[in-house]
């Protein structure tokens, strides 16, 4: 029988129906759309493909119970005989149910069922109108109705996930105005200015920028400027790198040109143009957009492909950016190791110079770091910086390999399927070598087509080993694809036989059918099947290849409600005040934003990811991807409230964030289990800070927790262990101790790392709404700590500020932090929430 993977729906056609009269003309389009045009009426009815799942088990998990149909599910190490009468009769039964539901609900000719899914899921794909889809949703027995994933815009798909096109951009005049006149500075690896994500032609003309004074370097070869009307500044900083003998102008480019890929990617996430077709290998994965697609880009290149960067160059770049007048700084960079000049995290060179940037009114978003899921792995520490953790959004990519014995092995691979309804012979790389190549190379990673016997590989699926070379970057899936193409193979399977804890596997786009089997037990199933099916002579040479298989369609994303989640690699708190890792009285990270498998622009000569060399887009992960999401969203807030301080913008983002996922549950975080497997646990503020960003709510926060330069100095001066002379050295300002304790810093969070007995702290809120509003204040905490707030309610006129207090008392000393929150609920609908963390001590 036909085995349709869940992701097979991506290959469905879309049909747009336009009623304008009596005759019908059918025209086929290369994007798989069919337009039915009927002449005379002026009414337009749009139909889409929907994926519908219904109650009842599919074949693979049906254990019996329906009258007249015996169980089809078998134990995991047994095959399903898909041609058996048991399976075929149950399959017919399911399909009849699908047809019956549609026939009962809709008139014949008003819908078109495209597929029935019976093996992996129980459901169907149907082409109907939105009204018909809503009817299906309300039908008893229907579990879910989801619009076809192919037409969903990815972006990064994250603009849709964050609600920007529907809830945010329209409030500021649409995407054509989103981020207008805001300049975002990127201290990164440069930019590829020829990418369509950064083009300014065919766009609404940009007006003059009076507040930005950055300069534009010329390409040393073409003598053309790196700037256009969208890229308004482009400079590179490499003097420290040159002095260290690390800079090679032929590789690193003595210009703002991106030789790595990372800088183009981060710039596009924050401020790339809207609606850029994201095409790779002949397939369109969606349309890319930055968070603030109208914002301008200023490039300050200080990172390089081979050696990273030097602090001196990065500091120079930040300094220049602030000087030039950027509004926002996006930093996907942090120190590799503690500085030798200070023991204080808040006064390391990055944070110290960024204090000056914030003093100048620049909002700074910095990646939290990729050292998770272990505690105290942050590389961004200070209250004047917005520290961004990385989330997994709702889009996942999955694929599967079907073996000739009926077993289906899950894996990943952004690839097309092998030809439907057909099995292909499987050949192991080690069994199809040219005799002369056996001793020269280790061929199992399939990087060199010349070592294989093309006659034995052509038209077959090549089995390759996922060696350590792939982890370190000396082997790539891109080269496997090139090998398969050269040999004329039908596809490839990369088999993971050994895996180290923490090894990260990401789906990689492929022009040919391919899959990566990451589960070692599934890999063993494949190897066992291959060995049993392959006959050999006494020397071990293969006499006949009898193992068969087919590769599913991995191009379609699957959308999960269990999102967002904190990514495994995202650095965790608690925050530290010194490089002896003593806990700080300040919560970090500050906020969570998408950072896993993010599509965005790439430069063709970028080498940061070997699988994307020569490509125009890349799908990569990291808190480096999360920070520009916040930079772009901050630009939208800055556009609406141009006079707001960086602290006010940060507060708006934090207090309106969410700790609930799309399924209505508390956020979860990826973590290692006792067996070092990746699992999900309840997330805490040390994972996500205040929560996952909610751009729509951030544009109308009601209240903000504002702070300025004097507040930051007060935080430094009251932090135990910091030398006041050191503070004066960095700030040129004597200490002011009026704050009394660093926990009194007016952050949109509360952290007390050493709570003894009872401690009362204060917060000051300012009404930024246009009307008077009364707020009721409530608080809750885990049982080991008591919490009280005062006053219980307060009324604020527009622009007015009020102070409230929070009192924490140790009930029991557990040795672990207790978590809670303070909520301020406004009479006009505003909701403000700040997280609270405290560690109780006896003395």
How many whole angstroms separate alpha carbon 502 and alpha carbon 676? 8
Phi and psi for 451 in degrees, rounded to 5? -90, -5
- What Å distances lie between residue 375 and 287, 371, 390, 589, CA to CA? 37, 9, 15, 11
Of 174, 175, 183, 181, which Cα lies nearest the Cα of 206?
A: 181
**DSSP codes, 361-376:** T-EEEEE--S-TTSSS
Give CA angle at 317 (313, 322), nearest 5°.
150
How many whole angstroms separate alpha carbon 745 and alpha carbon 739? 7
Per the CB < 8 A criterion, the answer to whether 522 and 402 are in contact is: no
Of 756, 819, 742, 56, which Cα lies nearest the Cα of 346?
A: 742
Identified catalytic residue from 624, 651, 657, 818: 624
| CB neighbour burial string for 803-813, b if at least 16 within 10 angstroms, e if fewer | ebebebbbeee
Per the CB < 8 A criterion, the answer to whether 553 and 10 are in contact is: yes
Q: Which residues contact 732 (CB under 8 A, 6 or more apart)?
A: none
Judge whether 188 counts as a catalytic residue.
yes
Give CA angle at 833 (172, 750), nearest 5°.
125
DSSP designation for 659 = S
Helices (runs of H) and strands (runs of E) counted in the chain = 18, 42
Tokens standing for 404? Answer: 């000739």
- Name the burial class of residue 764, with classes exposed (0-12), middle (13-18) and buried (19+) by CB atoms within 10 angstroms of its CB: middle
Of 154, 155, 166, 151, which Cα lies nearest the Cα of 15?
A: 151
Judge whether 351 counts as a catalytic residue.
no
Which helix H or strand E contains 794, and what residues bound it? strand 793-796
Outline where DSSP puts E strands in 361-460: 363-367, 386-392, 395-397, 399-403, 408-411, 424-428
How many whole angstroms separate alpha carbon 630 and alpha carbon 41? 46
Identified catalytic residue from 98, 157, 236, 262: 262
How many whole angstroms separate alpha carbon 375 and alpha carbon 369? 12
Which helix H or strand E contains 378, and what residues bound it? none
Which helix H or strand E contains 494, and what residues bound it? strand 491-495
Identified catalytic residue from 148, 181, 188, 394: 188
Three-state secondary-structure class, residue 178: coil
How many whole angstroms separate alpha carbon 265 and alpha carbon 603? 8
Tokens standing for 575? Answer: 């925050």
Q: Give catalytic residues, as residue numbers.
A: 188, 262, 624
């Amino acid at each position: 029988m036909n085995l349709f993977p869940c992701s097979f729906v991506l290959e469905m056609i879309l049909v747009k129906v336009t009623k304008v009269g009596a005759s019908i003309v059918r025209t086929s389009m290369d994007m798989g759309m069919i337009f039915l045009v009927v002449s005379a009426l002026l009414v337009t009815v749009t139909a889409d493909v929907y994926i519908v799942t219904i109650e009842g088990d599919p074949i693979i998990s049906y254990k019996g119970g329906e009258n007249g149909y015996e169980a089809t599910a078998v134990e995991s190490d047994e095959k399903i005989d898909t041609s058996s009468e048991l399976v075929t009769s149950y399959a017919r039964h399911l399909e009849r149910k699908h047809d019956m539901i549609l026939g009962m609900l809709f008139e014949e000719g008003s819908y078109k069922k495209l597929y029935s899914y019976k093996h992996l899921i129980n459901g169907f794909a149907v082409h109907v109108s939105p009204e018909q889809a809503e009817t299906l949703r309300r039908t008893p027995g229907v579990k879910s109705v989801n619009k076809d994933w192919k037409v969903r815009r990815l972006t990064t798909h994250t603009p849709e996930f964050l609600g920007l096109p529907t809830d945010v951009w329209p409030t500021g005049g649409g995407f054509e105005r989103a981020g207008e006149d805001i300049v975002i500075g990127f201290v990164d690896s440069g930019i590829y200015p020829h990418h369509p994500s950064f083009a300014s032609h065919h766009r609404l003309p940009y007006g003059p920028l009076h507040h930005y004074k950055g300069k534009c370097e010329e390409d040393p070869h073409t003598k053309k400027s790196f700037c256009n009307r969208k890229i308004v500044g482009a400079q590179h900083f490499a003097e420290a790198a040159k002095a260290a003998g690390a800079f090679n102008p032929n590789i690193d480019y003595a210009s703002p040109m991106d030789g790595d890929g990372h800088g183009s990617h981060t710039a596009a996430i924050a401020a790339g143009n809207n609606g850029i077709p994201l095409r790779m290998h002949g397939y369109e994965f969606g349309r890319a957009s930055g968070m603030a697609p109208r914002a301008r880009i200023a490039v300050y290149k200080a990172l390089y492909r081979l050696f990273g960067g030097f602090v001196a160059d990065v500091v120079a770049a930040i300094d220049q950016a602030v000087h030039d007048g950027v509004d926002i700084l996006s930093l996907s960079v942090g120190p590799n190791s503690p500085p030798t000049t200070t023991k204080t995290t808040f006064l390391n060179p990055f944070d110290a110079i960024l204090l000056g940037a914030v003093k100048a009114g620049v909002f700074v978003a910095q990646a939290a770091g990729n050292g998770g899921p272990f505690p105290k792995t942050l590389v961004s520490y200070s209250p004047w910086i917005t520290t961004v953790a990385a989330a997994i959004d709702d889009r996942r990519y999955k694929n599967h390999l079907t073996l000739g014995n009926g077993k289906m092995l899950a894996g990943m691979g952004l690839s097309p399927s092998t030809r439907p309804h057909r099995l292909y012979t499987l050949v192991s790389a080690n069994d199809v070598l040219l005799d002369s190549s056996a001793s020269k190379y280790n061929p199992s990673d399939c990087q060199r087509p010349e070592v294989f016997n093309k006659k034995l590989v052509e038209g077959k699926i090549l089995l390759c080993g996922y060696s350590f070379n792939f982890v370190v970057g000396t082997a790539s899936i891109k080269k496997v694809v090139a090998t398969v193409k050269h040999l004329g193979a039908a596809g490839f399977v990369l088999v993971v036989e050994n895996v180290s804890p923490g090894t990260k596997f990401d789906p990689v786009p492929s022009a040919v059918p391919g899959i990566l089997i990451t589960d070692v037990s599934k890999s063993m199933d494949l190897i066992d099947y291959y060995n049993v099916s392959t006959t050999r002579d006494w020397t071990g040479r293969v006499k006949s290849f009898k193992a068969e298989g087919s590769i599913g369609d991995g191009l379609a994303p699957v959308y999960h409600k269990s999102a967002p989640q904190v990514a495994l690699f995202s650095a965790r708190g608690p925050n530290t005040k010194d490089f002896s890792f003593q806990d700080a009285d300040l919560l970090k990270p500050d906020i969570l934003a998408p950072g896993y498998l993010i599509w965005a622009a790439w430069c063709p000569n970028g080498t940061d990811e070997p699988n994307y060399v020569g490509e125009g887009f890349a799908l990569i992960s990291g808190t480096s991807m999360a920070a520009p999401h916040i930079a772009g969203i901050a630009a939208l807030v800055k556009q609406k409230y141009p006079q707001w301080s960086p602290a006010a913008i940060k507060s708006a983002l934090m207090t309106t964030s969410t700790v609930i996922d799309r399924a209505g549950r508390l956020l979860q975080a990826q973590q290692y289990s006792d067996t070092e497997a990746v699992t999900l646990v309840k997330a805490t503020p040390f994972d996500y800070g205040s929560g996952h960003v909610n751009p729509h709510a951030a544009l109308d926060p009601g209240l903000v927790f504002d702070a300025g330069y004097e507040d930051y100095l007060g935080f430094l001066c009251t932090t135990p262990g910091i030398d006041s002379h050191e503070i004066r050295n960095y700030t040129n300002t004597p200490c002011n101790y009026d704050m009394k304790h660093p926990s009194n810093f007016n952050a949109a969070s509360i952290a007390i790392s050493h709570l003894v007995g009872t401690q009362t702290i204060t917060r000051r809120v300012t009404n930024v709404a246009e009307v008077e509003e009364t707020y009721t204040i409530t608080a809750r905490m885990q049982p080991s700590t008591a919490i009280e707030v005062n006053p219980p309610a307060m009324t604020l006129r527009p622009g007015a500020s009020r102070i409230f207090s929070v009192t924490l008392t140790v009930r029991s000393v557990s040795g672990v932090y207790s978590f809670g929150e303070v909520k301020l609920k406004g009479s006009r609908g505003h909701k403000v929430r700040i997280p609270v963390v405290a560690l109780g001590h006896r003395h």
